[in-house]
Amino acid sequence: MTAQEYHDGQVILIDKPLHWTSFQAVNKLKYTLINKAGLPKKFKIGHAGTLDPLASGLLIVCTGKFTKSISEIQGQAKEYTGTFYIGATTPSYDLETEIDQTFPTSHINEDLIHQTVKQFLGEIDQVPPIFSAIKKDGKRLYEHARAGEEVEIQSRKTTIYEFEITRIALPEIDFRVKCSKGTYIRSLAFDFGKAMESGSHLTALRRTKIGDYNVENGVSPETFVEQITKLSEANS
């Protein structure tokens, strides 16, 4: 891949590491393409869908003319794998906040788990987590949450195309889910526990696919830096 090709337009598949923000990952690529490949400072670059710092996996970065495809890519179905922790909830529905409530789990067995999965297939109503970036009254929901303010959050329609349980080792349940744009897997974790008359929160999340793009074809930000550095050295 030449510097000119990156400038003109590429779709770059990044395997975002845990604890990185999507912004950090894009900035790393941008800095590298400017300083190692010699691209102008104002070349176009952006990502097609944020991935939380507590999630790893597929982050699609577009450059040049492909930045026009970002909204189209964002609209495609997404696939995730991860882990629910059954019997406890957190205010953020994941590990960003501490456990606030515990629930009984002695009644939960494999049959109940698999029956509960069926409730979430197809179009469902979902309430986004209070710790999310959605705006309400001019502020992000997480800003309201951190200020201790109570806000009413409207539910929204989302679609779960596939929902598979891949491991049961209570209190942990591993899953794979394919869903529409705008689905919150944290909310799915919370609702799943509630549907079993218990509680649940998300302890691991990895985005594996967006449309036909697969994380197996992605590289880490560090590997991308190495590739561009070698390209730069070869051309110098």
Predicted TM-score (pTM) above 0.85:
yes
Q: Which ranges of the chain does DSSP label H, i.e. alpha helix? A: 3-8, 22-35, 70-74, 110-118, 141-146, 185-195, 221-235
pLDDT band with cut points at 50, 70 and 90 for residue 231: confident
CB 46 within 8 A of CB 1: no
Question: Could you tell me if residue 100 is left (phi over 0), alpha (psi between -120 and 50 degrees) or otherwise beta?
Answer: alpha
- Positive/negative CA dihedral, 213, 215, 217, 221: positive
| Model pLDDT, residue 1 | 78
Element (H, E) at 14: strand 11-16
Q: How far apart (Å, rounded) are the C-alpha atoms in residues 47 and 59?
A: 7
pLDDT band with cut points at 50, 70 and 90 for residue 144: low
Evaluate if residue 145 carries a pLDDT over 70. Answer: no
Give the C-alpha distances (Å, rounded to integers) separating 35 from 15, 226, 229, 232.
Answer: 22, 13, 9, 10
> Long-range contacts made by residues 138-145, C-beta under 8 angstroms, separation at least 24?
145/91, 145/92
Which residue in 163, 159, 166, 171 sits closest to 84, CA to CA?
171
| Model pLDDT, residue 233 | 79
| Model pLDDT, residue 137 | 62
Evaluate if residue 18 carries a pLDDT over 60. Answer: yes
Q: How far apart (Å, rounded) are the C-alpha atoms in residues 37 and 201?
A: 43
Mean pLDDT of 14-18: 97
Evaluate if residue 163 carries a pLDDT over 70. Answer: yes
52 classed as catalytic: yes
Whether the ω angle into residue 171 lies within 30 degrees of 0, i.e. cis, is yes
Catalytic residue (choose from 15, 52, 94, 191): 52
Evaluate if residue 140 carries a pLDDT over 90. Answer: no
* Bridge partners (DSSP) listed for residue 81: 176, 206
Evaluate if residue 85 carries a pLDDT over 90. Answer: yes
Q: Which ranges of 86-220 does DSSP label H, i.e. alpha helix? A: 110-118, 141-146, 185-195
